[in-house]
Amino acid sequence: MKYLVKIFVVTFLLTVSTYASAQDKIVYLDMKYILNNSKAGKGAQDFLQKSFSNNQKKFISQEESLKKEEKDLLEKKTILSKEEYQKKTDALRKKVIDYQSQRRASLDKIASQRASARQDLLEKLNPIIDQYIQENDIAVVMDKKDIIGGKSKLDITNIITEKLDKELPSLNLK
């Protein structure tokens, strides 16, 4: 159903624009390519992947430590008094809950940084596309994912990527 609607919308836009004026230009670009392969996009992806990988290493070592502590506690179950065992079990549970909340917070932080980076890129990209539309008298710019086929000379992805690289060489993620 989704694809049927997309095909209908594309066909409608093409039909209307064809009848409106033979001189109107329709071009397309690949937003996914621009966001992933521009200098700022690559830099943001590298930063986020490095941050995720560092966090994963830290959390794996914490998890191993907690498992070892649990194993040691189970081995000492018969040696410890019931009250002492209960205290240590409660302390271990608290550590596990803290670990889980830290891990969740870390993943949430990375997700919010990713969303923020995407939003920053889109905010810088829109004026560049608008300027290109004005300079080249373009009627419609469509995303490549919504197009079934077209002439490669109508693809402005590389031009827009180059302009974005000049205007925004990197994002400041922290």
Residue 173 lies inside a defined structural domain of this protein: no
Q: Which residues contact 69 (CB under 8 A, 6 or more apart)?
A: 92, 95
What is the percent of the chain where pLDDT is above 70?
87
For 120, the token pair is: 């920053």
pLDDT digits (tens, 9 = 90+) for 4-34: 666 766 676 666 655 545 467 889 999 999 9
172 within domain boundaries: no
Number of domains in the chain: 1
The pLDDT value recorded for residue 20 is: 47
Return the structure tokens found at 79: 């040696």
> Domain span at residue 82?
2-167
pLDDT at 93: 92
Q: Is residue 55 assigned to a domain?
A: yes
Distance CA 53, CA 36 (A): 19
Q: Is residue 161 part of a domain?
A: yes
Contact assessment for residue 66 and residue 96, using Cβ atoms and an 8 Å cutoff? yes
* Residue 133: count of CB within 10 angstroms of its CB: 16
**Overall average pLDDT of the 87-110 stretch:** 92
pTM of the model: 0.70
In a domain, 129, yes or no: yes
Calculate the dihedral angle through the C-alpha atoms of 68, 70, 73, 74, rounding to the nearest 10 degrees: -110
What is the residue type of 87? K
Residue pLDDT, tens place only, 107-134: 999 999 999 989 989 999 999 999 999 9
**Dihedral of CA 27/33/36/40: which sign?**
negative
What is the C-alpha separation between 68 and 38, in angstroms, rounded? Answer: 45
Asked, for residue 49, whether it belongs to a domain, the answer is yes
**Given pLDDT bands bounded at 50, 70 and 90, which one contains residue 57?**
very high
Structural domain includes residue 174: no
Mean pLDDT across the chain, nearest whole number?
Answer: 86
